[in-house]
Amino acid sequence: MSLEGTVHTAGSKVWFVDPVESWAKAEVLKLDGDQIIVRAENGKEFKCNAADAPLQNPDPLGEEDMTRLPYLHEPGVLWNLKCRYQQDDIYTYTGTILIAVNPFTSLPHLYGTHMMDQYKGAELGELSPHVYAIAEASYRQMRTENKGQSILVSGESGAGKTETSKLIMKYLAYMGGQKGHSQERNVEEQVLESNPLLEAFGNAKTVRNDNSSRFGKYVELNFNKAGCISGACIRTYLLERSRVVSVNDPERNYHIFYQLCGGASSEQKAKWRVQPADQYHYLNQSTCYKLTGVDNSEEFVHTCVAMTRVGIPAEDQEALLCTVSAVLSLGNITFEDGNNDDSVPTPGKGTKALEDASFLLGVDTDGLKKALTTRTRQTPDGPIVSPLDAKAASENRDSLAKVIYAKMFDWLVARINTAIGEDKNAVSSVGVLDIYGFESFKTNDFEQFCINLANEKLQQHFNQHVFKMEQAEYEREKIDWSYIEFVDNQDVLDLIEGKVGILDLVDETCRFPTAKASDLAQKLYNTGSCKDSKRFSKPKISNTAFTIDHYAGMVTYETTNFLDKNKDFVVAEHQNLLAGSTSPFVSALFYEEPPPEGSGPSKGFKAFKFNSVGSQFKKQLGDLMTALQAMEPHYVRCIKPNSFNKPSLFENANTLHQLRCGGVLEAVRISCAGFPSRRPYADFVDHFWQLAPDLIKQEDLDDRTISERIIGKASIKFGSGYQLGETKVFLRAGQLAILDKVRTEMLNKAATTIQRFARGWLANRHYCKLQAASAFIQSAARALFARREFTRSLWRQHRAFTEYKAVYGMVLKIQSVWRGRNARSTFLNLRRLKAAILIQSAWKSWRAHTTFVAQRHAALVLQTTAKRELRELRSEARESGKLLEDKKALEIKMLEMQETLDMVQNQRNELRQQVKDEKAIVAEGQRQLKELRAEQAVLLVAASASTAADLESEVAAREKWEEEAKSLQATFSEMSDKAAKDKAELERKFATAQEYINRQMNERSEIEKKFHGMKDDLINRLQNACNQRDEARGQVLELQNENEKLRESLGVKDRQLVIASAAAAAAAAVQASASPHSSSTTWLMRLRKLTQA
C-alpha cells in the first residue's frame, strides 16, 4: 500500500498553533492536498498546513516517561506535563531526566520517611517519577561503580530549585546516615542547616519569587566505603553584588538585612546601632519590607541557630551581624559638594551614618571619610591624592559596601566548609548543583550574561549526556547510529569565552578608566570574532546593546552597566583602612598575603592589579565543568507553571518557554534526530497486528519476525524508516504516525463491516420479536372483547326488565296524581296571572318614567353642548370679522404706501430729467466755447495781414469775446455747482425715499406674516370647532344608541320578570301540594329522568 502524502485522516485528533494557548486541540474534518480543514474545540473551523498540525497522543491521562509517548513533539510534551500536573503528578521522566513542576502548595503525602522507604533500593522507572528516585539512582550508582555522581538542578526563579535541592540532600543524608556514627550524623545536620544560612545571606525577593537564590551553589557530599556521609563542601558562583546597593520596587534586598532589623533584641540593636528597615537607604528603595507568611524575627532566630549548628562560634556570629549592620550604615552616608571640587559628608544624617559605620567597622572616622572622598594614585614621584565629587564619592561608598558583603559571604561559605569538613580521602561523592536557569528579560544586564553563559555550558554538557544515552541505547540494541547528526553549541561558547571573545573584550575595555558603555559596544561591533559570528548581531534601535542567539532563543544585552559590574578590584585606600581595623573579623576579611621577598619594591603596589568578575566566573565555571565531566550526571529540570505563584494554574506559553530554556525540547530534538519511536516487539505486535492478521495464526513466527513483516506491508524502508533492535522496534520520526493512519483506516473499514452485519441481525431479531408479540396481543384482545360483550348483554337484559317493572308501577300512580295536580294547577295559574298583571303594570310605569328621565337628561346635555359650540363658533366668527377689517385697513395702508412710492419715483424721474437737461446745457456751452476758440485762432492768423486799425478792432473784439467767454465760463461753473448740489440733494432724497420704501416693505411683510398667521389660526379654530361639533353629534348618536340598548334591556327584563313571576307561582302551587303527595312527586321526577335517559 502507498503511504505517501499526509498522515492525517478524517477524524484524526491533531494540534494546531494557538496564539494564546501555544498549542490547542482540533479534529480533522477534510483533507485538501497539503492542507487540512480542522475544527477546534470551540467549534471554529479553519484550514492549515498538514505539516503544522502534529497528531495527538491517544492517552489522555499522560505518560510517566515521555520517551514512551507515541508522538514525541513539542505539544505532546507540553500537554503531557499539563495533564499530569492537573492530577497533582508534578514529576515526569524524559528518559533519565526528571521534570519537576512547582505545585505552589504543600503535598505532604509525596515526601517524608515513608516515601524514602518506598524508593530505597528501587530501580529508576520502577516506581512513579519522583525526586527521591533520582537521588536513589545517583546513590546506588555511586555505591556500585564507586564513581562520583552529580545531580544538576536548574530552572528559572520560582521554579523550586532550592526546595528540590533540599529534598535531594535530605534523601542522601537519610541514606548516608543509616550506618554512621554520631559524628557523621552531625555532618549531615550541618549540611542541611547550611541551606537556611546561605538562603539568609544569598536569597532575596524578586518579582517572580519570594525566596530567589541570587547565587549558584554546588554542594558536594563525600561518602566513605560504608556509604555514609564523611564530609561535604559547598562552592558558590556569581553572587549578585549589585543588589546590596540597588533594589527595584517591589523586590527586596537580601533576607539577612530585614531579619537583623526586625529580629535583633533591644540590646543588640543598641550595640550594633540597628535602625528600622525603612530608615536605611539600601532598603527603602523598595516599599516591600515583609513577606507574606514570613516573620522576620523568627527567621532571625533560625539563622542564628543555623550558624550555631554549622559550628560558627558566638563571637564570630556577633562580628558577622555587626558587619551586616555596618553595610547598612554605609548606605546612609550621603555627600555634598565642597568648596574645592571635593565632597564632604552631609551634616546631620550623613555625619551620623559615617560615625556609625566607622564604629561598626572598627576604623577611624576621619580615615573612613578620607577613603570615601579621595582617591590615591601611585606615581614614580610619589602618591597623588585627588578629591572626589559627591557623585563619585557615593559610587565609592557603594563599591566598598559591595566588596564588604561579597567578602563576608565568601567568609561564611568558607567557614561552613571548615565547620563541616571536606573528606579528601572519600571513596566517592555526590554533587548537587543548584544553578540559576536561563534568563531573558526586557532589559538584560551583566548578571544575565554570566547566568546564560553558565547555562550554555551546562546545556552543552546536557546535550552530550543525552546524545551519549541515545548512543548507549542504540549500541545496546545493536542499531546503526553512525549517521545521526549531533548539533553542538560550541560556536556560542567560542563567541563568549573564546580567544578575543566577548569576555576578553569586556576585560580589555575595563582596563581603561575613562571607557564607557558605547566604547565597549563599538569594540564588540567591530571585532571580527563577534561580527563574523552567526550568533552575534546588533539591534537596529540601540548603539549600546548586542544580541546573542542562545540555544533557548535570542537575548539582547544592554552594556550600560557591564564595565562597572565586571570590575572586581579593591581600592587601595579601602584595603589599607579595613586591613588595619580594630575588629579582628573585618581585618581578617581584608587580610592580604605579603609579597614574597625579593619581588621588588613595586610588588606591594601591584598586588592591587586588575581583576574581573567575568574572568573569575569563567575560571569557576571551567572548574565546575571539569568536576562534572568526571562524574556521572543526573538532571532535574524545575518548571514554574504560572507567573502568579498560584496552585492548579498552568500557563502553556510560560511553561513552553521554560521547556526550551531548560533544554527539554532540545533533548526531544536530539531524540527525534535518531529513532524517537521505539517499542518492544510484543507491544508493537499487540498494537499493530490488525495490519497482518494472518501472521498471528502462524505459531512458528516470533514477535520480531511478525513486526518486520508488518512494517514491510506498510512499505516503510529499512534503515531510513526503521531498524530492528534486540528487543525493540526503532522507528524514525513520523513513521509511527503512518502506521497508526493505516491501522486507523483498516479498523474503520472493519468497524463499518461489523456494524453493517450487526445492525442487520439486530433489525431482523427486533422484527421477529415484534411479529410474535403482535400476534399474542391480538388473540388476547379478541378474547377480552368477546367476554366483555357477553357480560354487557346479560346486564342490559336484567336492567331492562327491572326498569320495566318500576315504570309500570309508577305509571299507575302518576295517572291518579296527575289529574289532581291539573286541577290545582289551573287554580294557581289564575292567581299567578292576576299577580303578573299587577307586576307588569308597575314595571311598565317605572320603565316609562325612567326612559323619560334619561331622554330628558340626554336632550339637556345635547342642547347645552350645542349652545356652547354655537357660542364658540360665533366668537370665532367675530374674531374672523375683526381680522378681515384689519386686513382691509392694511390693504388701504398698502395702497397709500404704493401711491407715496409712485410719487417718490416720479420725483426721482423728474430730478433725473433735470440733471440730463443741465448736462445738455453744459455740453452746449462747452461746444460754443470751443467754436469761439477756433474763431479766435482764425482771426489771429488773419491779423498778420491786416492793418493796425483792423488789429485794434480785432483786439477789441477779442477782449469782448474773452469777456463773454469768461462770463460763459463763470455761468458754466455756477451751473455746474448748482447741478452738483441738486444732484447731491436728489441722491439724499432718493436714499431717504429708498429707506422709507424699504421700511414700508418690511412693515408690509410683517403685516402679511401676521395676517397669514391670524388666518391660519382662524382656520385651525374653525376646524377645531367643526371637529368638536362632529364629536358632539357622535356623542348624541352614542347616547341614542345607549338609549335604544336600555330600552331593549328593559324589554328583556320585563320578559324575565314575567317568567320569574310565573315560575314563582308554579313553585308555590307545587309546594302547596307537595306535603300529601311527596312520594308521587318523587316517582314523577324519577320518571322524567328515565324518560330523558
**Residues with a known catalytic role:** 157-158, 162, 209, 212-213, 437, 439
Residue 216, SS3 per DSSP: strand
DSSP E strands, 582-710: 632-639, 677-680
| Residue of 280, 295, 376, 258 lying closest to 332 (CA atoms) | 280
**Interatomic CA distance for residues 453 and 449, integer angstroms:** 6
**Interatomic CA distance for residues 1040 and 19, integer angstroms:** 82
**Interatomic CA distance for residues 37 and 23, integer angstroms:** 17
**Interatomic CA distance for residues 38 and 47, integer angstroms:** 6
**Interatomic CA distance for residues 777 and 775, integer angstroms:** 5
Beta bridge partners of 537: 547
CB 325 within 8 A of CB 273: yes
**Interatomic CA distance for residues 94 and 63, integer angstroms:** 10
- The answer for residues whose C-beta is within 8 angstroms of residue 315's C-beta and 6 or more apart is none
Which grid cell sits at 823? Answer: 286541577
Residue found under cell 420479536: 769
* 3-class SS letters over 883-943: HHHHHHHHHHHHHHHHHHHHHHHHHHHHHHHHHHHHHHHHHHHHHHHHHHHHHHHHHHHHH
**How many other CB atoms are there within 10 angstroms of residue 386's CB atom?**
11
Which grid cell sits at 752? Answer: 463499518
CB 350 within 8 A of CB 333: yes
Residue found under cell 494557548: 21
CB 333 within 8 A of CB 353: yes
CB 162 within 8 A of CB 644: no
CB 647 within 8 A of CB 104: yes
**Interatomic CA distance for residues 591 and 588, integer angstroms:** 5
Which grid cell sits at 748? Answer: 474503520
List alpha helices for 487-534, DSSP H: 490-497, 502-510, 517-526, 528-531
Which grid cell sits at 1041? Answer: 344608541
**Interatomic CA distance for residues 988 and 982, integer angstroms:** 10
Name the strand (E) or helix (H) holding 183: helix 182-202
**Interatomic CA distance for residues 317 and 559, integer angstroms:** 39
The distance in angstroms from the start CA to the end CA of the chain is 88
